[in-house]
Structure 1
């Protein structure tokens, strides 16, 4: 895994983007590939396999707008299903049946596909040139391959219903995990379900409480955690490793989550929060449009306080799932779609999602949520941040982690045993995958 620069790289590097967001966007059509229709030629059809749980309609709209500007190219949009990007890609890689453009995560698995020549070099594209410089190391393999572009600046946060907090007499946001538990108890006493837990969608268990548990219980105490993870010396068969899982279980055991939480999927979790069925939701900035726009109660966000008393929280911030081009016979046309996705067409999905864009220049009039923008500005100044779990965990470990998280919640596996299995998987990966 490529060693990332120190977390302080976020400080200042986001300033130009945040200024642009404050100015509500600008136009830069020079970053978009020009139409390339050839009279009389049969259109080329490219396949795009996309992870878009929050924006399937917008992806179809982007594809349609792209084809209007590139009438010689048609886009067959397909959507990933299941719990992760990697579980969608592995069978297609094995069968040599990859589409032309794919969603991809900036991790060791994607980097290995680039090194094997499965993913095309995108360093010459307008998309790569326009991506924020602080994100580029995430998308560069150890061998120097530029294998994709980010879909956004991703963070996981706690969304909270301000009306419910006021009704429960909560005037101060929790600053550590003990205070968070006290807030949950106060909300429950007031008759509210404190927190939505997406137990049926382990992807969000990983992005939310697992990533913040790892950040605050492990990475905060191990400055060299990335190197230790890579060489197999990061010990997670510990009390701290078990506590990552234990805290998730504790929230359920104390009745701080909704009924039937084990079967609550991603969309249902968002619906429960927006319908006023819970006071808090542990979700990503990428869902801000669904969670914050036009709701009957005012919604705020705060840093998940998974830190111990007296310690500064370690936020989770990094590259959102992005896009790559596969080395197919239609890769030239797929490169044009890549430039459009994070260029002129980006406004179509952004104005629905209201996330933080990953580009230096924003084409068209861009709508963002001011609270999300302020959140990213705040955490970018923190001395340490950790990326989401899909960035630093090997693909095979992600596959093991998902059922482990659900088994801990269901009482089938203890937190300590889950930590032991996670530790075993990471050490095996560091040895080259030999189990």
Structure 2
């Protein structure tokens, strides 16, 4: 690797912490400021935990059952379809009918749900002392820890099978769009579909832009700050329009396959294990999931490189993925804090991470993680690791934006119009937090 794992995570975490502080106006101390859980919470309680459908897994339910057996407190998971979750959660929070605990993106991604109004201060909770730096930075807002991270710091790049590249005569990792296009052309000639894309998954489409966000540095070196104070529009970044133009060209050339708009995320593992697709835009621990389902797939030998649209050469990482926040307006705060404390216990956190093969690094210093060859190689193949748009820029809402990308594929929106629609949505959110 060009840089140590620790230095990569710390660099991204420090950026996330700075942006989280500058993206929001200073706030007074939140009411109901947290303190270590001392009082025994009432047992005749049912906690409601809200999440996007893909964020709650069987292991979450297993650990919740253990929590109920130990405390008597029940846990009800409310999973909303991915393309609806953000809007549904915001509506419930705004009407005072929000869940006790809700999941959201870390870093600046938390701002979408108005931390001043809805997030409980968790700075004094016992598990904070075991937090690693990137997890602490990604859950800090205006100097307070307002969520618990049970995820991983990772990023999205192009995972590829070197054996398929070799068979197609692709001898080097693409560094530019021209090289990427040429590689895909060779893969098609060799009988492969270059990229497994699933147009039906709205949330996945904006990740192509997310992965090349740092190309804005060419025209605005402080682009994240400018995006976060709304002095820079997505439509004003030439490289973003170029990247979307190239994305549409890839779709039109058949590099995603003929029926990619009907393909799904849920079938991606089986499809990638088959001898048909050469690449997928995914996170670095994805090979673990493929190996678990298809031990003979050779996925542990797959490598990764940054998305070369707009000649991007950097690997965009998150500030820690998805986090758990306690609704400060909940009537069950003691029970909610007890649940997070239970989830954070070493044995429970270890059980969770062991089951989640899609997560690499862990949020706690006493729980071991797992790093893949994909992570090693994407850093070798990149010039730097940078904070991604999803957790580095305010209101990068995948589910809302994804619909515009689908319109791009169908030809009903131009790349410029997609970016203008994103700017319009973000403007409304900036107006909301200014009130």
Asked if TM exceeds 0.5, the reply is yes
Other-structure match for 1:336: 338
Deviates more, 1:44-53 or 1:323-332: 44-53
Other-structure match for 2:365: 361
Query: Cα gap change, 1:57/1:428 in structure 2, threshold over 3 Å: closer, same or farther?
Result: closer
TM-score (norm. length: structure 1): 0.80
Query: Cα gap change, 1:189/1:413 in structure 2, threshold over 3 Å: closer, same or farther?
Result: same
Supply the distance in 2 between the matched residues of 1:132 and 1:378 (Cα, whole angstroms): 24
- Secondary structure class of the residue paired with 1:305: coil
Supply the distance in 2 between the matched residues of 1:429 and 1:51 (Cα, whole angstroms): 20
Residue 251 (structure 1) shift: 1.2
Alignment match of 2:223 (pick from 198, 222, 225): 225
Supply the distance in 2 between the matched residues of 1:372 and 1:264 (Cα, whole angstroms): 24
Query: Cα gap change, 1:146/1:36 in structure 2, threshold over 3 Å: closer, same or farther?
Result: closer
Query: Cα gap change, 1:267/1:220 in structure 2, threshold over 3 Å: closer, same or farther?
Result: farther
Aligned residue-pair number: 399
C-alpha RMSD of matched pairs (Å): 3.3
- Secondary structure class of the residue paired with 1:173: coil
Supply the distance in 1 between the matched residues of 2:5 and 2:371 (Cα, whole angstroms): 20
TM-score (norm. length: structure 2): 0.80
- Secondary structure class of the residue paired with 2:282: strand
Deviates more, 1:183-192 or 1:313-322: 313-322
- Secondary structure class of the residue paired with 2:146: coil
Residue 139 (structure 1) shift: 2.0
Deviates more, 1:366-375 or 1:149-158: 366-375
Residue 84 (structure 1) shift: 6.2
Task: Check if 1:277 corresponds to 2:279.
Answer: no
Query: Cα gap change, 1:307/1:256 in structure 2, threshold over 3 Å: closer, same or farther?
Result: closer
Other-structure match for 2:46: 45
Other-structure match for 2:181: 181
User: Contact between 1:196 and 1:258, CA under 8 Å: does it hold in 2?
Assistant: yes
Other-structure match for 2:145: 146
Residue 340 (structure 1) shift: 3.1
Task: Check if 1:408 corresponds to 2:422.
Answer: no
Residue 393 (structure 1) shift: 3.6
Other-structure match for 1:21: none
Supply the distance in 1 between the matched residues of 2:137 and 2:369 (Cα, whole angstroms): 27
Deviations 1:12-69 (Å, cap 9, x if unpaired)? 2748xxxxxxxxxxxxxxxxx999989xx8543212223352662111112123334x
Task: Check if 1:100 corresponds to 2:103.
Answer: no
User: Contact between 1:342 and 1:359, CA under 8 Å: does it hold in 2?
Assistant: no
Supply the distance in 2 between the matched residues of 1:92 and 1:210 (Cα, whole angstroms): 29
Query: Cα gap change, 1:280/1:136 in structure 2, threshold over 3 Å: closer, same or farther?
Result: same
Other-structure match for 2:62: 61
- Secondary structure class of the residue paired with 2:47: strand
Other-structure match for 1:319: 320
Deviations 1:143-180 (Å, cap 9, x if unpaired)? x3322123221211222223322322333222232222
Query: Cα gap change, 1:100/1:55 in structure 2, threshold over 3 Å: closer, same or farther?
Result: closer
User: Where do 1:9-408 residues align within 5 Å?
Assistant: 12=7, 14=9, 42-51=43-52, 53=54, 56-68=57-69, 70-83=70-83, 85-108=85-108, 110-111=110-111, 113=113, 115-142=115-142, 144-150=143-149, 151-207=151-207, 209-216=208-215, 218-219=216-217, 221-238=219-236, 239-285=238-284, 287-293=286-292, 294-299=294-299, 300-306=302-308, 312-327=313-328, 328-343=330-345, 344-354=347-357, 355-363=359-367, 366=368, 368-372=370-374, 374=376, 383-389=384-390, 391-394=392-395, 398=398, 400-408=400-408
Supply the distance in 2 between the matched residues of 1:183 and 1:112 (Cα, whole angstroms): 38
Query: Cα gap change, 1:87/1:219 in structure 2, threshold over 3 Å: closer, same or farther?
Result: farther
- Secondary structure class of the residue paired with 1:245: helix
- Secondary structure class of the residue paired with 2:62: helix
